[in-house]
Every structure is written in C-alpha cells, then in structure tokens.
Amino acid sequence: MSGTQPTDKLTRLEDDVKAARSELAATVDELAGWFDPKTRLAAAKDRGRQMVHDATDPAADPAARKRARIVLGVTAAGAAAVVAGVIGRLARR
C-alpha cells in the first residue's frame, strides 16, 4: 500500500498543476481581451453614449443626469481649450 501512495500523490499534484495552468491561461486570455485597443475603444464609446443618454434623457436618474452633464461640460471645455490653443499657435506663425 505504501508503494501506491506516492503515485497517487504525484497524480493529484499533476492534476492540480494542469488545473492551475488552465486557470492561468483563461485569466491571461481574459486580460489580453480586456487590454485589446479595439475592446477599450468600444468600451469608451459605450460609456460616452451612456453619458449622452443620461445627460439628455428626462427619465434618467437625477444624480446620473447631473454627473453626466458635469463630465460632458468639462470635456467640452477641455476640447475648446485645446482648439483655442491650436488656433492661437497657428495665428502666431
């Protein structure tokens, strides 16, 4: 009986290693998908659409509407500042 115990233990350890490798591979695949630029761009577009929807929909939650309007306002102000800076640089040339 003592001769089969190490073999059983070794088999269990090998199974554990295979399971850990499989789990690690799944995690790496998930992270690779999450960091994919196309995936990130799609997620950003979805968040932007949701912000616009929250800001303009009268039925939206008032807190979400307020937050969306603030975020969109700050974004618009930042974009306007960048455009003004570019125009200013071009005008000085």
- The DSSP-derived string for 39-74 is HHHHHHHHHHHHHHHHHH-TTS-HHHHHHHHHHHHH
- How far from 76 is each of 33, 58, 69, 71, 73, CA to CA, in Å? 30, 21, 10, 9, 5
Q: What is the DSSP letter of 38?
A: H
Residue 13 has pLDDT above 90, yes or no: yes
Number of domains in the chain: 1
Query: pTM of the prediction?
Result: 0.55
Residue 81 has pLDDT above 60, yes or no: yes
Which structural domain, as residue segments, surrounds residue 81? 5-92
The pLDDT-based confidence of 3 (bands split at 50, 70, 90) is: low
pLDDT digits (tens, 9 = 90+) for 15-43: 999 999 999 999 999 998 888 899 899 99
